[in-house]
Structure formats: structure tokens, C-alpha cells
Amino acid sequence: MEFLSDLNEFIEVPIPDQEIEKNDQALNILVDNRTEPDNTTTKPHFNLSRQHFKNLLSDLDAVTAQLDRIKQAAESYAKQKNSAHIQTVKKALNKIQTIFEYNIYRTGMSGSYWSNPLYDFRVWAGENMDQGERMPLGYMDTKSDGPDKIFVIFQQLQEMDITKTKDTWESVYEDFYALITFEKVRINSYLRRIDSFEKFNTILDQGASYYALKSKIFDIPTMTMQETMLSTAVRYMSLSIELLEEIKSAAKENLKALPDKKAAEALAFHTEQLIDEVNRLASHGHFNGMSLLTGRFSRNHEQATSSMYILLGAEMSESTRVYIPTLTAVSLVVPGNMAQPWKWDVYEAFTSEQKTNQFIAALDTSIGKIKQSMQNLDQLAKKLPEHDPYSKLSFDSMYQESMQYFLKSYSLTIKNLAYTAQPEHSINTQSTLVLLTLRNAHELITEKLINMRELAVQACNSVYNDQEHMKLNDEFAALIKSIEKITEQTVFNGEKILHTDSTLSSDRSIKLDLVCDEDGIIQKQLLLFPLDPKALELSRSNYFLEINRVDEANRAIGILDWALAKVNSNKARIGSCLQSVFIAEYKDSLMRDYIKLLTSAPKKNNSAATYLEYLGNLVDFTKHVYKKAEEYAWMAMSGVYTYNDREQMAFYFSNLLHDVQTLIKHAQTLSEALPQDITFNNQQKTKLSALVKYLAKIGAETSNFMEEIKNSDFLRSIGSARNVFEKITWIISIKE
């Protein structure tokens, strides 16, 4: 059904006795349901806003029905002079007044003017639910707190006297009817935008659900990241086309409506809302924190640093540039022959057939270009390999096996958060336990922060009353207290290792010195942000961050995003240290196995073979660690990662490279200080000589490489990542 004809089908809606409570009851039902499992999404927020507008539309339909009744009674009175028609008009006017006072404006005060609380109504959307799109109703004077224009004209309408001639009341009646009709135009347009909001957020959920917790981003195959980015861009384009097609439909309807100015104005308003939605989509169409649709990755973009590259080919080593068109309204809906496109106005475009046709032609051109871009991205997606070349690294399988052992063996200790080093525990065990305890505490805090963020998002909804906001705020405050409890209880050897009150805390960070191996040659200093509510700016003295008002809730979302970034930074550091502890433990386990075999070897030549086997295993493990470092360099070559992601990759990479250097030095020391009671035959001497030369070669190359990248922004850009990847690949390819 066409937009205007849909609005003109006014159906009289019977008003039940409980009309006064209808809106509040409908809203309260949605509020009470917000704790259902499905409410981890933003769907309840959109349902609540949509239901609010539908209730208002129903109320306005009821008002229109009463207006139709008034007109019918007035026309009947003019013919029949029946006093019953006068009473019909009075009852209808009283009904209209009741609907406005108790349902729409909610003043509940007969005779007081209507100062529309819906004039500043906002619906929130976006990845962070921080896009407060204003959807005003009514006609308020923004410079004063005076009455709504609807109230002023309704007062005039109440003075209508149907016993007098039609020309004495008809103009006021028609003005009021027109205002109500245009309010319904607004509401229908807003409902359409809310549908678009929900589709947009669905795309965000599908495209960003993997990346809700940034610390887990490296657990997702790069191929999956690239595939998701391409499909997300295509879904954005599909939604953009949907909006453009609807704009085009409104423009064609305008051609039929001309020269009816009121119809053109209604269509122009509807189109303006859709154009605003096109711009909102372009401004906030993100993937992994990157804006995709504002021209940053378009073919004619001048900044080479903003190029989007993805990895293709069997080994995903071929870089291909991805082009994503600019989807702003200026690029899509403004006719191309305009000298000053920013001055284009949809109301002006709908004033003549020629201008409307130019508008339609611009839309057709834009739709065609977007469809072509969608096809290009689909073709690229088909070239992606089925498997990530680094999906089955030996390092990863060994690391996971080690972590599973610890989680199974010490789950109760880790779960309790408080840990005291036991004498029977090895250095590796103690370091691993404290790191896993920290990781578990961080997971718990992350869960609390995400729950808080969801409450803040709900509190952004303008239709919540004070009592409902207080209920949300109470839940919010309880979660802050639970974070305080977690940081109080995360204790190692009597020290609070996540709290600003800890003696380990200084200069806004907590320092933990970890000895990772039995020889003490692998040591790490772990720097963490304290995560108690005070450190995360969730509380100050006796004050807790609140979400009692919409502005407070928006501020809370920003603080929570900052807090989550701190937590995720900590988790990346903990993850890197866990890798180092695993490397140290594996090195020690090789040594223990070697000593065990050595003591059981009956002959010296067997001792030599055992020694060479141990040294060879140590070299092989060093290669596995190097291969893991290579993976981070390879990942950084893909454009789907942000600068901050590459910062984390660089941290992991640098840490692994230091561990590789330590392993090489350890192996070199062993190969140079041979046990005197071991005799090597010629074949074994040749093998030993090859290992010594190999260790010297990769040791020198690794040292030089680390010196090269010491003061550079390695991995921070795609170009530097490729240089690092090529260098490390060459080092790994060195033969024994």
C-alpha cells in the first residue's frame, strides 16, 4: 500500500474504559520482560520504542475518529437542526481532550496547557547504542516552555459552534485535522526508521558479535574476519539500497500527488527521514571499529593509509585491495549536475515534476553502482580459501593442552581467586596459577561490565519513567559492588593484585614480577591496570556512577567502553605472559625428560644420542615458537584489523621473539658446554656441528632483526607488517 493512501485509511478505534492506563500498561509489560534471556540484544529497546509510537498512532487514530464524528454531526445538524448533534460534538471534544491529557501529553490536569514531553523524544541505536536520533512530535516553541501548537488550535476548536454557519468553524477544524494527520505522517516515518535501526543493529550484531571482547579477537581465524567484513559490507549496501528504493518510491508517488502541496510536504518529510537514515547508516556503518561507508575505502580516496587489503590465495599471502563505495546522502541522492550539492533540499526537489525526475535518475544511478560493488565483494569472498593456513599450528595445540591440564588440575584454586604459593609447586606452576587466576577474575569483571552496559543502553530510552530508571540504577549499582568484591578477593600471597590499594600498585599500574622457568632465565614483568571501581571511574568516595537519567546513561556507556578497553588490554598482557610461561615450562620439561633418559642410558653413545635428541627437540620447539610469531605478522597484513589490534599483535610478537632469543641462547649454551663424559661418533659430531651452526645463524639473524624493529612501528601498518612477515619467514626458512 502506498504511503499516502495508507495514512488516509483512518479507522475509528473504540476507546476502552481503561484508556487512561493503556500506554503505561503496554510499556510496563515490556519493561518487566527486559530480564528474559533474549535481552542480551538491543531488541527490547526497539520493541519498546516501536510500541510507544504504535500506541501514540492508535491514540491519534482515535482522535481522528472523533474528528470525523464531529464533522458528521455538524453536517447533520445543518440539515436536521437536532440538538443531539450538539451533544455529540461536545462528547467527542471531551474524548479528544482526555486522550491528549492522559495518553499523549500525560498531564492529567484538565485545563492546563499541553507542554509536549515528546518533542525531545529520542530513539537510541548504533554499535554502542550512543546514537540518539531525535524524533519530535508536536509543535513546541523551543525557545520557551509554552504550550504546544496542537493545544492552542484545540482550544479554538473547543469554541466551535455548529449552530452557526460552516465558515465560522471549518478553518479551525481543518487546521487541527491537518496537524493530527501530519503527526501520523511523522509517526509512520519514525516507525520506518526504527525498523531500519533494528536491521542496522542486526548487521552490527552479525558482523561484530565475534569482536565484542577485543581480547578474544586473535582466537578468530583471519579468514573468518575477512569473510565477515565482506559480508557485513554487503549487508550494509543491501540496507542502503532498500532505503534508496523506498526514497525512489516516495518520489514516484510525489509525481502522482503534484501539485497537492500538503501531500508533497508529507512525502518530503517521509523522504527526509529516510535520507537522514541513509546518512546515519553511512556514518555508523562500522566493522571492528572501522568506518566502512564514508569514503575511507572508496576507489577515489586519496589517503593510501586508509586502503583496505585482504589476504587471498591458497596460503592467504596475496594482498588484494578492497573498494567500498561512499554511501552518504550527498553521494547517493543528490543529482550529479548540482554545483553545490550540500545546498540540495528534498522539499525543493518535490515542488516540480522536472526536479523530482532528476532526483529519481540520481537514485537509479546510485542503486546501480551499489549493486555492482556488491557483486565485486561477492566475487572476492568466493576467492577466500576454506581454511586459515595457521589454523593448525603445533604451538597452539601444545599450548591448549597445557592450559587444559592446569584448568582441570587447579580449577578450584583459580575459581576461588585467592591463591597462596605452595612449597611443593614449581615456579612454572605458581606463575601459571597466578596468571590463570588473573584471567578468570578478568572474565568475571568483563561479564559484569557488559551487563552494566546493557542496563545503561536500556536506560537511554526516553520512555522509561523515574521509577523504572531507579530500578535499572539499583541493578547497575549492585554490579559495581560485585566488581569491587572481585578485586578485593583476587589475592596472591596476601596481596590484592587488581586493586589500587595493593602495595604492588604505583603510577596507576600494578607490577608483578614473574619467574617463568626453573633456571630463572625467562622472567617477565607484568604491568596491569587496577580494575577496582575507583580505578575504572565507576565510583568516587561514596558516589557510584548512575543511570537515573538519559544523559547519565549515555555518559556511563562511554565510561564503560573505556573500562572494557582497560580490561581487554590487561587480558592481552596476561595472555602473552601465559604463552611465555608455557614456553618456559616446555623448555624445562624437555630438560627433565633429557635428564631422565640420560640417567637410564647404559652406554655413552646412547648418552650422546639422547643429548642430540634433546638439543634437536629444543631447536624444533624454537621453530614452533617462531612460527607462532610469524602468524601475528601475517595477521597484521590484513586490513580487517585496527591500529589497536596491531598494537596487541606487536606486543605478542615482541614477547615471543624475546622468548625465541632466550631459547636460542639456552640451546647455544648447551651445545658449547658439552658434558665431558659423553663421546660422539663421526655421524653425531656432524649432526652436532650442523645444529651449532644453525643456532649461530638464526641467533645472529634474530638479534639483528630485534634491533631493526626496536624503535620502529613494526606491525602498526600493513606495509611494515609485510616487511616483518617477509623477514621472519626468511629466518624460519634457514636450513640446519
Write down all domains in the chain, each with its CATH number in brackets.
Answer: 42-208 (1.20.1330.10), 221-389 (1.20.1330.10), 418-578 (1.20.1330.10), 601-736 (1.10.132)
> What is the mean pLDDT of the segment spanning 286-294?
84
Q: What is the mean pLDDT of residues 488-502?
A: 84
Give pLDDT, residue 210.
45
What is the pLDDT confidence band of residue 302, given thresholds at 50, 70 and 90?
A: very low
Mean pLDDT of the chain: 80
Task: Give CA–CA dist 633/398, Å, rounded.
Answer: 21
**Cell triple for 415:** 575459581
CB neighbours (10 Å) of residue 111?
7
pLDDT reported for residue 719: 84
Q: Mind listing the pLDDT tens digit for each residue in 585-628? A: 888 888 877 777 766 655 545 678 888 888 889 899 999 999 99
The larger pLDDT score, comparing residue 41 to residue 511, is at: 511
pLDDT at 370: 94
Q: How many whole angstroms separate alpha carbon 223 and alpha carbon 311?
A: 8
What does the alpha-carbon distance between residue 729 and residue 633 come to, in Å, rounded to a whole number? 10
Residue of 424 and 585 predicted with greater confidence: 585
Alpha helix (H) residue ranges in 392-464? 394-409, 411-416, 427-459
Whether pLDDT at 431 is above 90? no
Alpha carbons 667 and 691: distance in angstroms, whole number: 9
Question: Of 204-218, 439-453, 459-473, which gets the smallest average pLDDT?
Answer: 204-218
Q: How confident is the model at residue 518 (pLDDT cuts 50, 70, 90)?
A: low
Does residue 140 or residue 631 have the better pLDDT? 631
Task: Using DSSP, state whether 505 is helix, strand or coil.
Answer: strand
Sequence-separated (6 or more) residues with CB below 8 Å from residue 11: 61, 65
Separation between Cα atoms, residue 384 and residue 378, nearest integer Å: 10
What pLDDT does residue 2 have? Answer: 47
User: Which whole number is the average pLDDT over 36-51?
Assistant: 62
User: What percentage of the chain exceeds 90 in pLDDT?
Assistant: 19
- Cell 634457514 found at: 734
pLDDT for the residue 475? 93
Q: What does the pLDDT look like over 445-454, one tens digit per residue? A: 999 998 998 8
Name which residue leads in pLDDT, 287 or 38.
287
What percentage of the chain exceeds 70 in pLDDT? 80
Per-residue pLDDT, averaged over 693-703, amounts to 91
- Residue 610, number of CB atoms within 10 A of its CB: 20
Contact 280, 133 (CB under 8 A): yes
Mean pLDDT, rounded, for 75-86: 88
Q: How confident is the model at residue 621, as a pLDDT?
A: 92
Beta strands 509-515; 505-506: pairing state: antiparallel
Mean of the pLDDT values across residues 286-303?
Answer: 75
* pLDDT exceeds cutoff 70 at 434: yes
Quick one: cell of 572?
592481552
* SS3 state of residue 309: strand
If DSSP codes are grouped into helix, strand and coil, which group holds residue 539? strand
Give the C-alpha separation, 160 to 629, whole Å.
83
Give the type of residue at 587.
K
Q: How confident is the model at residue 304 (pLDDT cuts 50, 70, 90)?
A: very low
Q: What is residue 303's predicted lDDT score, i.e. its pLDDT?
A: 40
Min mean pLDDT across 107-111, 119-123, 328-332, 537-541 is at 107-111
Predicted confidence (pLDDT) at residue 416 exceeds the cutoff of 90: no
Q: How confident is the model at residue 5 (pLDDT cuts 50, 70, 90)?
A: very low
pLDDT at res. 240: 94
- Give the pLDDT confidence score for residue 367 in this predicted structure: 95
Which of the residue ranges 129-138, 433-442, 629-638 would you say has the lowest mean pLDDT? 129-138
Distance of CA 19 to the CA centre of its chain: 40
